[in-house]
A = this chain, B = another copy of it.
Amino acid sequence: MSLGLTTAQALKLWHDVNLAMVRDDGPDLSLRQMTILLTIYLEAPPHTVRDLAAKLAVSKPVITRALDSMGKLELVSRRRDDKDRRNVLVQRTVKGALYLERFADTIGGLSKAV
């Protein structure tokens, strides 16, 4: 399916959503954090640190630190893999789901005005 965004529409939508995020109180997730969060919630599990690092083309410590930060915000949780206890499985949380739901509503609402 194609959304058929023109250049001007794309930039205006991005601007409006970014502006809403900047003006919003509460902590802003960094670009990497947001990408990790969306990956976890949009793609099928399991999600390991190694997989996420590969998908984002980023070092593993970047993932670990982002999971630390988002874990404090309870947007994400971690669990050891029982099949292979070297692995850490990144899991969704209720707060994380609500966060993204609210975020999607913001985009959806603003896209109506583009």
- Interface residue ranges, A against B (CB under 8 Å): 1-15, 17-19, 21-23, 28, 30-32, 34-35, 38-39, 41-42, 55-58, 100-101, 103-105, 107-108, 111-114
Q: Would you call the interface of chain A mostly helix, strand, loop, or mixed?
A: helix
Contact B38 A11 (CB under 8 A): yes
Q: How far is the CB of A18 from chain B (nearest CB, A)?
A: 4
**A2-B111, A108-B10 are known contacts. Are A22 and B35 too (CB-CB below 8 A)?**
yes
Contact A18 B6 (CB under 8 A): no
A1 to B111, CA, bound (A): 9
A35 to B14, CA, bound (A): 8
Q: Which chain B residues lie closer than 8 Å to A35 at the CB level?
A: 15, 18-19, 21-22
